[in-house]
Structure 1
Amino acid sequence: MLRVSNRGFPGGSYSPNACIQESFRRAGIDADSPVVVYTGKGAFSGAGDGLGQTMMAYTLAKYGHNTVYILDGGIDAWKSEGGRELSQDYPAVEPSSFIAEVRDDYPIGYEEFVRIKDNDNVVVLDARPAKVYEGKGGPWRKAGHIPPGTVNLPWKSLMHEANPARLKSNDELDTILEEHGVDRSKAVICSCGTGREATNEFVLLKWLYLYPNVRIYEGSFTEWVTYPNNPVVEGGPKPPRGGER
């Protein structure tokens, strides 16, 4: 629903605005009515990494919704707390008149990314697992990460091990961000493989930590390696550039 192939580019391009708009209208979403987003592991498959809720929250906000909440821990946390009500009924939904209005200051396109990524006042994050960042796996035609100074901040390192939809404590998050040189005085660009994992860090930095300049490179590493001449680097994390968070 959210993303489609675009002239052969896989998965990183959002559907046309009219399609997004119609989907939100059919779900009865109004731009100013609060929306709570949650997800959880499948009851039968056991699958579910928690990224669905940050991806949907980012998409709602990007296309013009004004009041989006994420249920920290998802439905699994809701169930674990005991005494919480659950229902198997489908609610009655009246289509809305939602108007998709893209907030262009959230995403950063390829050309602008290339132009500013190496600036001293920019921090580029790679939310993929460390082994993929280092070039030891992954489905891409090239292995490694975007040079020269992309900082590896695996999104799962920010979440509870037992529940990848639940953030770690504020103190733990403070320490992790400081160790990785994620500086609120700089522009922070969140990236990953296809833009999905990066929504976790975009949401965290922009709306929980209120960093003033956070962007998301939606095309991420998938788009980067579609250009044959673009270099990649293999190996461990680079030391963060100086500055205070």
Structure 2
Amino acid sequence: MHTTLIEATELQRLMASGPTPLVLDASFELGNPQAGKAQYAQEHIPGSLHADLDQDLSDHDQSPSAGRHPLPSREAFAARLVAWGLNPQQQVVVLDRQGANYCGRLWWMLKWCGHEAVAVLNGGLPAWKAAGGPVTADPTPTPSPGRFVLGNSLVRALGTTELQQALGSPGQTVIDARATPRFRGEVEPLDPVAGHIPGALNRPFADNIGPDGRFKPAEQLKQEFLQLLGGRDPAGVVHQCGSGVSALPNLLAMEVAGLGRSALYPGSWSAWCNTPGTPRARG
């Protein structure tokens, strides 16, 4: 079972030997919400399906205090997994073309619904192609409904109230995955308020990716996170970003590094700054 990362060559062997994994392509572009579908239509791994951040991985029928990409209910997402043909214990492989920014969300959501056998394709579609993996523009036939059954969550998610109540306590450390200028409050292109959660540490999600487009080695990731934490307990980390999406590469990287499966604040800054009474910091 692959539960964090899977290499392109490993996926090739898995697809050749069976049982067949479910491959989900979560490519997306925040600035152009239709781009991910277009990228998938142009070329994708044969047999893979597209998972759209807006349509499949979010529920926008919520108040601004839920953030820009609120999670759907677990029941609604489980129904989507059944429609994608997922069966119990089936290996799932998720990928994108954006440095695991979007497929990381999908990876986490499957575990949120109780499915542990899910891994991110290290390096995404570029790594797949570099390893000689085939691509196609042919549409994938609609799968037969799967037998997946919603299970207990395998991850921890915090709401705004829970995070605020523990803010400043020695047992909790917030890590913000946004680009440093946004974290400092120097610019804010998406949310109504600039800044960050007081006391948060900053690690832009792209810092987890090496020059080859793949996650850095586990030992390097471990040293970088321990240096960032400065003696704080990794078990107390809560990850966040702008809207609960780009925080996931940090969360995944910590698990790859052997530092455990830390918590996520799905609403992130977009929920925090839209909730009256929450403290904000700059600099």
TM-score (norm 1): 0.82
Q: What residue ranges of structure 1 are gaps of 5+ in the alignment? A: 41-47, 236-245
SS at 1:76 equivalent: helix
SS at 1:113 equivalent: helix
Map 1:1-245 → 2, pairs under 5 A: 1-9=56-64, 10-40=67-97, 48-81=98-131, 83-89=132-138, 90=140, 93-103=143-153, 105-138=155-188, 139-147=190-198, 149-161=199-211, 163=213, 166-181=214-229, 183-206=232-255, 208-212=256-260, 214-235=262-283
Post-superposition Cα deviations, 1:6-26, rounded to whole Å, max 9, x if no partner, equal 432243322233321221111
Name the CA distance, whole Å, in 2 between partners of 1:64 and 1:104: 6
Quote the residue 1:44 is aligned against.
none
Instruction: Output the amino acid matched with 1:146.
Output: I
**Considering only aligned residues, what root-mean-square deviation do their CA atoms show, in Å?**
2.2
Q: What residue ranges of structure 2 are gaps of 5+ in the alignment? A: 1-55
Name the CA distance, whole Å, in 2 between partners of 1:212 and 1:28: 30
Aligned length, in residue pairs: 223
Name the CA distance, whole Å, in 2 between partners of 1:51 and 1:202: 11
**More deviation in 10-19 or 110-119?**
10-19
Percent of aligned positions that are identical:
22
Post-superposition Cα deviations, 1:117-161, rounded to whole Å, max 9, x if no partner, equal 3111221100000000010112222111011x1000111111125
Quote the residue 2:22 is aligned against.
none
Where does structure 1 differ by over 6 angstroms across 4 or more consecutive aligned residues? none
Maintained 8 Å contact 2:185/2:282: yes
Maintained 8 Å contact 1:146/1:233: yes
* Pair 1:93–1:87, CA change in 2 (3 A): same
TM-score (norm 2): 0.72
